[in-house]
């Protein structure tokens, strides 16, 4: 082991992985291989095969066979629940290993990674209950001669494309719910963060999931991801990532078999702070909302709308908090914000910081990359005097960059909050319940927080309004999304004849 930090190590050489199909590993063989370098340390950590179209076809065929064979879809809810509960136990047993790989490939802090993985345990536990509770409907109001039943049936083979910012968490906000519905899955993780999706495949098999129900193809989005979106034998695709790739996914579905889509896309989420808020709590929440995961969250609170009377004071409070965030070595237990996950994302964030300065916004803290020998880190950054016509105020940066925009009235706050093509999440900070509820009703976003941010639980559905996406994941709604209803009409008694 090359380097030890609080019990975790960097590998001396990158570990080789295969992809996962039909309940087993498939070695890379002669396929091209992608080598991942740890963004926090700059050392190679994993090598993953680049799957071909025929690997994808074989994986989809395996998922199809498992589905049509009713190996999973045909089980009773209790049997599906047993596998999901066993999976929860096995994830708990391997929490350190999974968290370690999240750090190596994503660059997030180890303590955060561990708590995300433990959160995923709860998603599997809840989904076990949902598998048993899933049900249809009946209509007993059609008179004595008829009876109606509405069944919920699993939609079939689901493609699942996930991003690099929360490789395991976003996966587990989907997989247990999809499995609870009875569907089979072909997952395609981001090429740069594939390992923990592969580990989940191995865990599911050990937990008793029938072969072929969960398969993982690896490789880049532009190749195997696009092929999955275009595949004629995939019934539904869940995509999480950028709005621009979301558009390609919609086109691919339209040009192929009209597969149903679930899309969770970008956000430019407002944090609305009124002068009557507990400003210390709010400053802490706003700092957390922009610096957590180094701002690489689709739900990051990247626009701070603050009542003008406290705007300067409050911006300084947030800046002070951000200057105290511990950034750096992700394997250090006390680190709060880790690395920027990809080189491209690092360049994007730094170019937006330069753009903010060119556009005339006032930088009050941060603004630079950290000067570290290894890895890539950006200081949490705050811009004041931001107006909505600036690119930094309207475009998703996906980094620790906060834009401060003052407002005078509640109507103005709501109007600025809604002045975006996105509608993923929003927060309000106030001690006045009327203001909190008014804002929560009128801001167009799929997730809303009052006096907190980036909070939730496995029961609450997630997803966006407007260009932030379609459909919902997690909770019972997240199971139902992967079903389709069938209306069964039953005639009771003697038919009244049409032909005399």
Contact positions toward ligand NDP, by CB under 6 A?
Answer: 161-165, 190-192, 220-222, 225-226, 229, 240-242, 245, 248, 264-266, 298, 345, 348, 396, 398
Task: Give the whole-angstrom CA distance, residue 333 versus residue 436.
Answer: 36
Least distance from ligand NDP to the Cβ atom of residue 140, Å: 43
Question: Which lies closer to ligand NDP via its Cβ, residue 367 or residue 446?
Answer: 446
Q: Residue 23 or residue 219: which is nearer to ligand NDP going by CB?
A: 219
With respect to ligand NDP, which residue has the nearer C-beta, 131 or 199? Answer: 199
Its sign, for the CA torsion 384, 388, 390, 391, is positive
- Give whichever of 190 and 336 is closer to ligand NDP, judged by the CB atom: 190
- Cα 423 from Cα 294, distance rounded (Å): 21
The end-to-end CA distance of the chain, in Å, is 87
Smallest distance, ligand NDP to C-beta of residue 194, A:
8
Residues taking part in catalysis:
264, 298
| Cα–Cα separations (whole angstroms), residue 211 to 178, 196, 236, 356 | 16, 19, 20, 51
Q: Minimum distance from CB of 157 to ligand NDP (Å)?
A: 16
Which of residues 372 and 467 has its CB atom nearest to ligand NDP in the complex? 467
Identify whether the C-beta of residue 341 lies closer than 8 Å to the C-beta of residue 384: no
**Dihedral, CA of residue 412, residue 417, residue 420 and residue 424, to nearest 10:** -160
Q: How far is the CB of 491 from ligand NDP (least distance, A)?
A: 47
Q: What's the CA gap between 27 and 19, in Å, rounded? A: 7
- Cβ distance to ligand NDP smaller for residue 241 or 289: 241
| β-bridge partners, 263 | 239, 470
Closest among 422, 438, 442, 451 to 271, alpha carbons compared: 451
By the 8 A CB rule, do 367 and 353 touch? Answer: yes
Of 37 and 220, nearer to ligand NDP (C-beta) is 220
* Residues 185, 55: Cα–Cα separation, whole Å: 14
Toward ligand NDP, which CB reaches closer, 399 or 406? Answer: 399
Closest CA to 113 of 162, 168, 161: 168
CB of 469 to ligand NDP, least distance (A): 8
- Tokens at residue 288, please? 């957390």
Distance of alpha carbon 471 from alpha carbon 411, whole angstroms = 28
Shortest separation between residue 345's beta carbon and ligand NDP, angstroms: 6
The SS3 call for residue 442 is: helix
H or E element, residue 244: helix 243-255
- Shortest Cβ 468–ligand NDP spacing (Å): 8
* Separation of alpha carbons 466 and 446, rounded Å: 9
CB of 378 to ligand NDP, least distance (A): 13
Buried b / exposed e over 352-379, threshold 16 CB at 10 Å, is bbeebeebebebbbbbeeeeeeebbbbb
Question: What count of residues does the chain have?
Answer: 500
Distance CA 195, CA 233 (A): 26
Query: Which residues pair with residue 262 across a beta bridge?
Result: 238
In the complex with ligand NDP, the residue whose CB is nearer, 264 or 481, is 264
The residue number with the shortest CB distance to ligand NDP is 221
Beta carbon of residue 417, minimum distance to ligand NDP (angstroms, whole number): 19
Q: How far apart are alpha carbons 186 and 278 in whole angstroms?
A: 46
Output the six-digit token pair for 161: 């494309």
Between strands 214-216 and 184-188, the pairing is parallel
CA distance 117 to 99: 7
């Amino acid at each position: 082991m090359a380097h030890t930090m609080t019990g975790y190590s960097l590998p001396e050489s990158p570990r080789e992985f295969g992809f996962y199909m039909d309940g087993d590993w498939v070695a890379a063989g002669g396929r091209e291989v992608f080598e991942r370098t740890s963004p926090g340390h700059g050392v190679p950590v994993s090598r993953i095969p680049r799957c071909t179209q025929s690997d994808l076809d074989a994986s989809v065929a395996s998922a199809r066979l498992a589905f049509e064979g009713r190996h999973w879809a045909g089980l009773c809810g209790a049997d599906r629940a047993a596998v999901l509960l066993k999976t929860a136990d096995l994830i708990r047993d391997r929490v350190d290993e999974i968290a370690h790989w999240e750090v190596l490939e994503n660059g997030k802090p180890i303590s955060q990674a561990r708590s995300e993985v433990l959160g995923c345990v709860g998603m599997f536990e809840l989904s076990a209950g949902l598998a048993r509770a899933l049900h249809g409907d009946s209509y007993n109001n059609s008179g004595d001669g008829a009876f109606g039943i509405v069944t919920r049936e699993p939609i079939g083979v689901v493609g699942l494309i996930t991003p690099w910012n929360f490789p395991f968490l976003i996966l587990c906000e989907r997989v247990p719910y999809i499995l609870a519905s009875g569907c089979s899955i072909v997952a395609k993780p981001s090429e740069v963060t594939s390992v923990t999706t592969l580990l989940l495949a191995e865990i599911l098999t050990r937990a008793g999931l029938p072969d072929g129900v969960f398969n993982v193809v690896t490789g880049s989005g532009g190749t195997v991801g696009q092929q999955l979106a275009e595949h004629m034998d995939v019934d539904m695709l869940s995509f999480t990532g950028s709005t621009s790739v979301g558009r390609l996914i919609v086109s691919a579905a339209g040009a192929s078999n009209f597969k149903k889509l679930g899309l969770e896309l970008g956000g430019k989420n407002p944090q609305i702070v009124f002068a009557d808020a507990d400003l210390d709590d709010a400053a802490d929440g706003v700092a957390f909302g922009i610096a957590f995961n180094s701002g690489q969250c689709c739900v990051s609170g990247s626009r701070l709308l603050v009542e003008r009377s406290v705007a300067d004071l409050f911006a300084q409070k947030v800046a002070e908090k951000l200057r105290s965030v511990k950034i750096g070595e992700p394997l250090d237990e006390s680190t709060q914000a880790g690395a920027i996950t990809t080189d491209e994302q690092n360049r994007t964030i730094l170019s937006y910081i330069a753009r903010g300065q060119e556009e005339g916004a006032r930088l009050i803290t941060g603004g630079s990359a950290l000067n570290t020998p290894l890895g890539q880190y950006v200081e949490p950054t705050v811009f004041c005097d931001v107006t909505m016509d600036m690119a930094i105020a309207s475009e998703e940066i996906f980094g620790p960059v906060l834009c401060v925009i003052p407002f005078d009235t509640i109507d103005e706050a709501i109007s600025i909050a809604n002045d975006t093509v996105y509608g993923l999440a929003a927060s309000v900070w106030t001690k006045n319940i009327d203001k909190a509820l008014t804002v929560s009703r009128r801001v167009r976003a799929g997730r809303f927080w009052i006096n907190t941010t980036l909070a939730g639980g496995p029961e609450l559905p997630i997803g966006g309004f407007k260009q932030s996406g379609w459909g919902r994941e997690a909770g019972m709604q997240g199971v139902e999304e992967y079903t389709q209803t069938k209306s069964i009409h039953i005639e009771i008694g003697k038919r009244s004849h049409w032909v005399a």
